[in-house]
Amino acid sequence: MKFSKSVLAAALAATTALALPGTAQAQMRALNDPVVPHPDPESLFTSDDPVLHRNKQTALRIQRDLLKCGHWADAGQWLTDRYIQHNPVAASGLEGVIYYFTQVAQVQPLDPCPALSANDPNGVVAVMAEDDLVTILTRRIVPYADDPTQTYTTTWFDTWRFVDGKADQHWDPATLPAGAPPVALDVDRTLQEAHDRAEIEDLMWRYVRAADNLDADAYAAVFTEDGSFNQVKGRQALHDMITGMEESMAPRRESGALTGNMYHIMSNQSIEFLSPSVARVHYYWQTIFGGPGVDPAPRVAAVGNGVDEVVKVNGQWLIRSRNVQPTREQE
């Protein structure tokens, strides 16, 4: 088949545009159908063959207990001591893989550990076992480089070779990072952190609304059981603090000494993740009385900066400590 020079030139131009970094490449969008996890992933880890069944069950524990729930203290039950690693950013050996996930990635154990689900970001698509090998195909959600709020899906795989029921060797398609530490390429962690950030922002919004409305039940509920506001500690004490404020403000409102609505304003907020389940929230705050509107004129009653520590408890972010008078060292 013969091609004209113009057709060949157009084809070469299109190929070059795809191969080189730049605008054309940044605008590319995925053409594939989305990768869809199996609706009942744990049902895939069984076999009529007793050896394959044992290996698939161990692969299930690796996928669920280790990779999903972070129970790396138990890794020796399912990985051999020598655990040969073919991922280029991880060293071989049981101690090395435990160190990576607990110290570098700072994974925190999830208790209780839920079953694998089709809703997992890395949901299981298929499980294949033959001889001493088990391969798990999973969904991988990847953000677009030019718009990280938009994502597409592709397929990841993990393959293990088993010796006496334990994983002894591992392969996956990971590559060395380009100018960034390995943890920066952990897409699941990046997406999880974005989700956690949104939940923490919602937590702080619920805090200020409960404070403004003097809703003692809602106020206490955004704290952990032993949570604190400066020196006031524990949910019951926090509840009593809000009811006490309401009681003390009532006669001042009746006398006209206190007018207008109360507003707590948090601004310049910055969320600092210390681990997947612990974060600090830095902010400026103001307490204002007035309005709505211009009558009565807004009056700033107090102003300052604060540092809160928030933690994830059973999948829910809560305030462990709220410090609106931090020292220089605490900031």
Element (H or E) spanning 183, and its range?
none
Residues 250 and 256: their CA atoms lie apart, in Å, by: 10
Mapped onto helix, strand or coil, the DSSP state of residue 148 is: strand
Closest CA to 69 of 99, 101, 125, 114: 114
- For residue 24, what pLDDT is reported? 41
Can you give the pTM of this predicted structure?
Answer: 0.50
Residue 175: what residue type?
T
Question: Residue 102 gets which letter from DSSP?
Answer: I
Cα-based distances in Å from 30 to 34, 48, 97, 141, 142:
9, 38, 33, 12, 10
Q: Per-residue DSSP letters for 122-177?
A: T-EEEEEEETTEEEEEEEEEEEETTEEEEEEEEEEEEEEEEETTEEEEEE------
Residues 106 and 276: their CA atoms lie apart, in Å, by: 7
- For residue 186, what pLDDT is reported? 57
Question: Are 28-180 and 193-323 in the same CATH fold?
Answer: yes
Diameter of the chain measured on Cα atoms: 95
Question: Residue 35 gets which letter from DSSP?
Answer: P
Is the domain defined by 28-180 classed in CATH 3.40.50.2000?
no
Just give the CATH number of 193-323: 3.10.450.50
Residues 222 and 313: their CA atoms lie apart, in Å, by: 11
160: tokens are 């293990």
229: tokens are 């506001």
Instruction: Please give the span between the terminal C-alpha atoms of the chain, in angstroms, as a whole number.
Output: 72
Q: Cβ(136)–Cβ(59) under 8 Å?
A: yes
- For residue 27, what pLDDT is reported? 56
239: tokens are 């509840």
Q: Cβ(184)–Cβ(177) under 8 Å?
A: yes
Return averaged pLDDT per consecutive 10 residues of the chain, 331 residues in all. Answer: 38 39 60 96 97 98 96 96 90 88 87 95 96 97 87 96 97 81 57 90 95 94 95 95 89 82 90 91 91 78 93 94 82 62
- For residue 146, what pLDDT is reported? 84
Give the chain's length: 331
- Nearest-Å Rg of the Cα atoms of the chain is 27
- For residue 204, what pLDDT is reported? 95
Q: Where are the domains of the chain?
A: 28-180, 193-323
- For residue 80, what pLDDT is reported? 96
